[in-house]
Structure formats: structure tokens, C-alpha cells
Amino acid sequence: MHELTAAMQEHLTWIKEVYKNDEKIYQLYENGLVNTFQTTLNPKADGRTFVITGDIPAMWLRDSAAQMRNLLIFAREDEVIRNLISGVVKQQVEQILIDPYANAFNDGATGQRFMDDHTDMKPEVWERKYEVDSLCYPVQLAYLLWKGTDQTCHFDENFKKACYTIIDVFKTEQLHELESKYRFERDEDEEDRVIYETLPFGGRGNPVGVTGMTWSGFRPSDDACRYGYLIPSNMFAVVILRYMEEIAGAVYHDRALEHMAADLARQINDGIQKYGIVKDEVYGEVYAYEVDGLGNYLLMDDANVPSLLAIPYFGYATAEDPIYRNTRQMLLSKKNPFYYHGKVLKGIGSPHTPQNYVWPIALAVQGMTSRDSSEIDEIYQMLKVSDAGTNLMHEGINVDDPACYTRPWFSWANAMFAEFVLSLNGIHIQGSPLQLVLEKQNKI
């Protein structure tokens, strides 16, 4: 178990003073921060940091990056934290180079796996669901570490090799039907969730056209996509390709990588704008959640990030963008089949969890992307009562009874709650630059 650093202890002292009249929020915040730091990080002698998600002993590329975001506020002044986050980036890069189509990895070549899926498994891989966001999050974390600390040592040759690998995979999956060798099938399990856990047509997925966007087999929830072009993940890809372009130019002085990243970002963005916007009879022009480039689309949102609700959070567009505003209204209504409203909670859930279960991750995102103080306060109050007395966040929570929840130990949700609280105090963990380091240093 890691001892809290002096910077973390000082920060918690400040947070405790801020919430001296709301002990519950402080307890949730402290427990979430401490839980992530003390129970999920496993630093290695070679400088890498392995990160478990909580109650599953594997490292997800997505979750591990999201779990680190709120720790970035300490990284400039705190060498221990800076090295831990840099170690996470190094570990993620190693995993991408082992298999860029995998979403979750073992701590070494143990051969452990979640299920015996029909796909090209390696002993280092826990699960091999191809998700565009899995390749986006490590680049985002590396970029934020750079902008928050001016450190570039994590941008080594392996990171540059991973950038080329990510671009190659994205380009291959622009032509999924023609060029991709990725296949994934899962046998029916005891919960009969095979429809969400496998890809049809021999593991290839439903047919798609060529759009300029890049194909994804699975959503950030690890559920299968119905249509192969997942709009929020493609938006996230545009954002991180622009980060990659900046890194290539400023750090590596690699014009080839710089131009490849910029060109691919343009192609994907053009595809989003052409195929990802649909006209709704009530809300006007909105972003679809998934499309196939053949005329089919899905209007919904999922609690996991990247989501449509999270568009301003990960930096694709602002909260004032008119299409985002239309989309947000639609998502927070019955038009979204995974928007639930109960006696205690209301918000966005996921087909990954039971019906009428709202996710704290989605509530935190809703709060951080809102410009309405009354809405933000409502989110604040709902999160306070969502923990069922455990003083920790969960995955999904029944809208009528918070005592009914999934995953008692889910580090991503804890980290997202902490980030929401930071946002309430003017600390926003964004891309370029990390203004919190300059503007809020006296509060950290």
C-alpha cells in the first residue's frame, strides 16, 4: 500500500476545509482518491506501472488512463506521482505494441483470460475486444502529462512506435470489410449476454460502408457495437490524432508522423460530419451514437466515456456547440433508451448493466459538461446518495434504491467523482495547457 505523498495530504486538507459543512462529499472524495492511489497501482522495478481496475485483476488501457487523470494535478511538483503516471504510459505503450486490438492485459504473460474467446489471443492478453477508445486514452494521458509538467521523457522511441501502430490500425479499420483480419466471437455464457459480447458474421461484425471513419468492434462499455462506426470514439480519435500531430512536431520533429496524424484526423472528422449527423423530428440535427455508412444509425448514448454526452469533456467540441446542445437534450430524455428516471436518481445507464441502473460516471460527466448551476447541484445531490453508505462510487445503481448496485470496487467511477468535485472548485483537467497547474497550484 502506498503512503500518501505530502502534496496529496495537503490537497486533502484543503478539500476538507472546502467541504467542512458537507462531510459526506469529503468522505467520498477522500476515499475515491486514496482508493485509486493505494489499491490499484503496482509500480515495477523497470519504471512501468501496472494498474488494475478494482475488482478485476487486469489492466484496461481505457480505465487505467482514466484512473490517473485526477492524479495529474500533483504531477508537476510531486516526483512520485509524476513517475507513477509516466510508468502507466510506458506500461500502456508496451501493451499496445503487444496487441493493439486488445482492450485488457495481464500483469505479465500469465495466460489468464476472461473467457476462451475465438480470436487471436496472446498470453499477455486478458481480453481482446477491439475498441477505438483503448488506443485513444494512452495518447491522451501522455499528452496531459506533457502539458501539465513539461516532461517529455515518456515520449521515447516505443511511444513513437505506438503512435505509428495506432495510425496503422485506424487506417486498416477505415477499410474494415476489405483489409481487417480482426475477428472476435464469444460463446454464450451463463448470463445469456452473447448478443452484447460477440460480433456477428463470423466475428467480423455487421456490414459497413467506407466513410473515412475508423471501425470499432466494441464500445467503451466492452459491449459489441451494432453498427461499426462508433461516433464518440471516432470523435475521440480525432482529438488524440491532433495531440499526436503536436507531439510529432514539437517533440520528435517527425514530419511524416505529423502529416499522417493530421491527414487521418481530417479524414475521420469529415466522415463524422458527413455520416454522423442525423435529423431528429424533435431535437433537430443531432449526433448519432453509431452508424454503418449504409444508411442505418442508432440514437442513444452509453454511460461509458467516450460518450456523446462527454463530447466537451474529451475536447471534440464545446458545450455551446449547437449540434451538441441538441444532442444533449435528446440524450437526457426518453428518446435515449438508456436514460432512466426513478425515485432517487435520474441519468444515463448502459445496456452493460440492468435496466433502470444509472452510472455515476455518466452523472459526473453530465455535471462537468453542464452550464446550468441548478443541474450541477442536482448531480451533486444525487452522487451524494448513490453510494449506499459505502463511501465509494459504483458501476450502475438502481434509480429507486441505491442499495442495489453493480461492482462494489470500481476505480474509474471513484476517479470520475473526484474529477467532478475538482471541477466544482475550478480545477479542470483539460488538454492544452493544463491550466489547473498554473491557476490552482495554491489549492493543490
Within 300-427, strands assigned E span: 339-341, 346-348, 357-358, 397-398
Q: What percent of the chain has pLDDT over 70?
A: 95
How big is the chain by its Cα radius of gyration, in Å? 20
Average the pLDDT over 220-228 and give the result.
96
pLDDT at 24 over 80: yes
Cell numbers for 257, please give them. 508522423
Q: What is the pLDDT of residue 139?
A: 98
pLDDT at 339 over 70: yes
Q: What is the pLDDT of residue 225?
A: 97
Which pLDDT band, with edges at 50, 70 and 90, does 188 fall under? confident
Rounded to 10 degrees, the C-alpha dihedral 348/350/356/357 comes to -90
pLDDT at 204 over 90: yes
Name the one residue in this structure whose C-alpha cell is 438502481.
398
53 phi, psi to nearest 5 deg: -85, -15
CB-based contact 342:399 (threshold 8 Å): yes
Least confident of 10-14, 185-189, 299-303, 440-444: 440-444
Name the one residue in this structure whose C-alpha cell is 472476435.
184
Architecture of domain 155-337: Alpha/alpha barrel (1.50)
- Name which of 38, 49, 41 is nearest 86 in CA terms: 49
State whether residue 280 is helix, strand or coil: strand
Q: What is the pLDDT of residue 441?
A: 38
Q: What percent of the chain has pLDDT over 90?
A: 87
pLDDT at 72 over 70: yes
CA 107, CA 275: separation in Å to the nearest integer? 40
pLDDT at 435 over 50: no
Triad 410, 26, 409: Cα angle to 5°: 10
Residue 253, classified by CB atoms within 10 Å of its CB into exposed (0-12), middle (13-18) or buried (19+), is: exposed
Q: For the chain, what is the mean pLDDT?
A: 93
Q: pTM here? A: 0.95
Condensed to tens digits (0 to 9), the pLDDT of residues 340-358 reads 999 999 999 999 999 999 9
Average the pLDDT over 83-103 and give the result.
98
Residue with more model confidence, 428 or 27 = 27
Q: What is the pLDDT of residue 60?
A: 96
Average the pLDDT over 256-274 and give the result.
98
CA 321, CA 24: separation in Å to the nearest integer? 35
Q: For 80-135, give the DSSP string.
A: HHHHHHHHHHHHHHHHHHH-TT-SEE-SSS----SS--BS---TTEEE----HHHH
Helices (H), 216-356: 231-247, 255-275, 311-314, 322-331
CA 433, CA 246: separation in Å to the nearest integer? 12
